Structure 1
Amino acid sequence: MSSFTGFFSNTIVIDKTLWQIWLMGLTVDNAINVALVQHRKRAAAAGALRPEQNQVAHFVTTQYRNFEIIEGFLHQPRQLSSQPLFPMPQSTKQFLIESYYGFDERVIRELLGKKLTSRVRKELEEVCSRTRVHIISCRRMFDNLKRIIKRVEDADAEMVSVIQREFLLPQDLAQQYANIIFINNYRFDTTKKRIAHLRFSDFVYVASIFMTHFTASTKTVLEELDASLAQDSRDLRALLFNSKETLEQLRVATAAQLASLGQQHILERAGASAFKVLLRNIMSIGAGLINNREIRDLFATIQEKVVDPCIAFPWSAADMSLFLDTVMAQFCGIGPAGLIESEVVNAQTRKRYSGAFARLVTAIKLAGMRLHAAAVGTQ
C-alpha cells in the first residue's frame, strides 16, 4: 500500500522533446529513433556509456502511453489541474496546455472561413499533403478549434476571456483563436485568387480590425456586424455623392491640407478621379456590412477596391495612410482646413456622422495598410 501511495505522490516526468514529437503525430518507432540519436549524443558529450536501445524504447513507450492519457484531460484543460493521476508542477501543466492548443499556421490557413463539418475533417488528408503536416497533427488542430468554437458559442461573455478561462490559454493565443472564430463565423472567403498571397497572420490581423471597428460589441462571436454603421455609411454615401459641391469641398480641403504638409504629390500622382473613386468605394464597403455576400467577400473587396488602386497610382502604404487620415480630419472638422464653413456638411451633420465616418475609414486604413504591405511584398 505504501508503494502504491508513493507512486501517486511522485511527480511525473514529461520529456518535452518527446511530447513535441508526439504532437507532431509521429509514431513510437519514429520517436524511439529520434530519442536514441539524442541520448547517444548526450552520452558521447558526457563521456558516459551509450544507452541500450531497449531502455530508450521502454522510456519512449511509457511516455507515449502517458501522453495518450493526459490528452483526455487536455480536452477540458481545467481538469488537468484537479486530476490526481499525474502530479506535476503548474509550469508543466501550462506547457502541456499551451503546446497542445498551439497550431501550425499553414494548417489553420487552410481552415479559415470554413464551417468545421465532418466533410471538412475528411478533407484533412489534402491539407496534410499541401502543408506536409502529419494527418494526426492536422486532426488535433481541427478538433481543438472545433472544441473552442463550441464552447464560445454557448457563452455570453467576451470571446477572449471565455477562451482564457475555459482553456487556460495565454492572452495572445486566445486572441488568435478569437480572430479565427470570427473569420469562420462570418464565412469570410479567404480562397479568392486576388488574396491567395495573404498569410494566416495577415488574415487574423485584419480580422482583429474588423472585430474592433465593424461590430456593435465583441461580447459574443455570433453578434451581427453593426447595422447602424452600415446605415450611416449609406447615408454618408448619399450625402457626399448626391452633392458635387460637398464632395468638391472635401477634395479641396484634403488637397490643401496635404499641400501644407508638403505632400501634394499624393493626389497629383493619383489623378483627378482618384479621390472620388476611393471615397465611393470605402462608403460602399461600409454600406455592405449587412449583406451576407458582401461580408463574405470583405477581404477581397478591400484588396480590389482600395489597395490595388492605391498600388497602381502608385502610392506607398504610408501615402495611403496619410491620405485617409487627412480625409478624416477634414470631414470631422479637425484643423484649419476642415469643413466648418461648409453649407452642406454643417456642424450638426458632422456631429451626427463624424464618428461613423472615422470608424469606417480607420478600419479600411488599418486593414488596407496590412494588405498593401502583403501585396507589395509578393511582387
Structure 2
Amino acid sequence: MSLRCAALLIQTFLFTEVLAMANELDVFVGNTTLIDEDVYQLWLDGYSVSDAVNIRLKSGILDQTGAGPDVLESDTMDHYRTFQMLERLLHYPPKLVQQLLFQIPPYKQSMLIERYYAFDEAFVREVLGKKLSKGTKKDLDDISAKTGVTLKSCRRQFDNFKRVFKVVEEMRGALVENIQQNFLLSDKLARDYAAIVFFANSRFETGKRKLQYLTFEDFATCAEHLIQNWTLGAVDVAEDMDMDLDKEFLQDLKELKILITDKDLLDQHKR
C-alpha cells in the first residue's frame, strides 16, 4: 500500500470518528453572549425565575422547542445570571460598549441599554417632580401597589432616574445631549429623561389633584418648552445651564399674579 493510500485511509477514519462524536455532542461553547429578549423583558419587569418560567410555559415555548420543563428552568436561570452580570455595566452604558468580556453585537447592546432605561408611564407619573431621595424611595412599596408595577421594577426605574440626575446635574451644555452622550439613549428616551431631570431639579408640584388628568407626555412637552425658553441656558448662552430657571424672569412673573387673584382683571385680559 502506498503512503498516499495510507494517508487517505487515516483521513477517512478520523472524519468518521468526528461524525460519531458530533452525534453525541449536547453542549456547544462559543464566545458570543446569547440574549433572549423575551426573558430579558421578564427580568426587567421584576419577575422571579420561577414566575418567569411559568410565564414562558404558558406561552407554549416547550411545544415550539421540544424541550422539557427542567431545561426551560435551567435556560431561564442562565439568562438571569447573565443579566445580573451585565447590570453593573448597564449602570454606565459606555462601559458596556467598551468592555470585552461579553461579546454582544452593537445592535444588541443598544437594545439592552434602551430597554434597561425604559420606564412605565404609570410609575413615572407618581414620582415626577419629587425629590429623588431616600424619602421618596421609601414610598415605592405604595407606588408599586398603586400602579401594579413590581417593586423590583420600581426600584430599577427610580435608581435609573437618580443615576441620570446625578451624572448630568452639574454639567454644562444641552441637557438632552449630555444624557445621550453619557447613557447612549435614543433621542426620544433622552428627551423624556431630560423632562424627568428638569422637574426633579425644579420641584414642580405635578401631583396635585387638578393636574391628575395630565399624562407624562403632557409634562414632557411642557418641560421641553421651559428648557428652550425659560432656563439660564435659553437666556444666556454663557450660562449654558438647561436645568436652572432664570430667576429674574420668575421674579417678573410675580407681577402677573394680580391678574389671577383679581377676577375682574382676569376676565378683562381674557377678552
Band the TM-score falls in, shorter-chain normalisation: 0.7 to 0.9
1:70 corresponds to which letter in structure 2? L
| Corresponding position: 1:40 with 2:62 | yes
Sequence identity of aligned pairs in percent?
35
Change (3 A) 1:221 1:115: farther
Contact 1:181 1:221 in 2 (8 A): no
Provide the residue aligned with 2:99 in structure 1. 83
Q: Please give the alpha-carbon distance, in whole angstroms, between the structure 1 residues aligned to 2:146 and 2:45.
A: 16
Contact 2:230 2:245 in 1 (8 A): no
Deviation (angstroms), 1:275:
5.6
Q: Which of 71, 74, 79 matches 1:63? A: 79
Contact 1:11 1:86 in 2 (8 A): yes
Provide the residue aligned with 2:194 in structure 1. 178
Consecutive unaligned residues in structure 1, runs of 5 or more: 1-5, 44-49, 241-271, 279-322, 324-379
Q: Please give the alpha-carbon distance, in whole angstroms, between the structure 2 residues aligned to 1:232 and 1:29.
A: 56
| Corresponding position: 1:164 with 2:180 | yes
Contact 1:73 1:80 in 2 (8 A): yes
Per-residue CA deviations over 1:123-146 (Å, capped at 9, x if unaligned) read 100000000000000000000000
Give aligned pairs, total: 234
Contact 2:62 2:68 in 1 (8 A): no
- 4+ aligned runs moved over 3 Å, structure 1: 228-234, 272-275
Deviation (angstroms), 1:274:
6.3
**Greater displacement, 50-59 / 16-25:** 50-59
Per-residue CA deviations over 1:131-182 (Å, capped at 9, x if unaligned) read 0000000000000000000001131121111100000001111011111111
Q: Please give the alpha-carbon distance, in whole angstroms, between the structure 2 residues aligned to 1:189 and 1:232.
A: 18
Q: Which of 48, 59, 67 matches 1:51? A: 67
2:56 corresponds to which letter in structure 1? A
Q: Please give the alpha-carbon distance, in whole angstroms, between the structure 2 residues aligned to 1:42 and 1:36.
A: 11
Per-residue CA deviations over 1:202-222 (Å, capped at 9, x if unaligned) read 111122222222223253344
Q: Please give the alpha-carbon distance, in whole angstroms, between the structure 2 residues aligned to 1:274 and 1:185.
A: 31
Q: Please give the alpha-carbon distance, in whole angstroms, between the structure 2 residues aligned to 1:230 and 1:39.
A: 62
Pairwise mapping of residues 96-245 of structure 1 onto structure 2 (< 5 A)?
96-217=112-233, 219-225=240-246, 227-228=248-249, 230-231=251-252, 234=255
Deviation (angstroms), 1:196:
1.9
Change (3 A) 1:138 1:232: closer
Contact 2:231 2:242 in 1 (8 A): no
Q: Please give the alpha-carbon distance, in whole angstroms, between the structure 2 residues aligned to 1:68 and 1:15.
A: 14
**TM-score (ref. length: structure 1):** 0.57
Q: Which of 91, 106, 109 matches 1:93? A: 109
Q: Please give the alpha-carbon distance, in whole angstroms, between the structure 2 residues aligned to 1:27 and 1:102.
A: 19
Q: Please give the alpha-carbon distance, in whole angstroms, between the structure 1 residues aligned to 2:170 and 2:50.
A: 41
1:185 corresponds to which letter in structure 2? N
Q: Please give the alpha-carbon distance, in whole angstroms, between the structure 1 residues aligned to 2:53 and 2:74.
A: 9
Change (3 A) 1:118 1:274: closer
**TM-score (ref. length: structure 2):** 0.79
Q: Please give the alpha-carbon distance, in whole angstroms, between the structure 2 residues aligned to 1:231 and 1:109.
A: 30
Per-residue CA deviations over 1:50-108 (Å, capped at 9, x if unaligned) read 31111111111100000000011000000001222210100000000000000001111
Deviation (angstroms), 1:277:
3.7
Q: Please give the alpha-carbon distance, in whole angstroms, between the structure 1 residues aligned to 2:41 and 2:126.
A: 22
Change (3 A) 1:274 1:164: same
Provide the residue aligned with 1:11 in structure 2. 32
Contact 1:105 1:200 in 2 (8 A): yes
2:117 corresponds to which letter in structure 1? Y
Deviation (angstroms), 1:230:
4.7
Change (3 A) 1:232 1:125: closer
Q: Please give the alpha-carbon distance, in whole angstroms, between the structure 2 residues aligned to 1:193 and 1:220.
A: 31
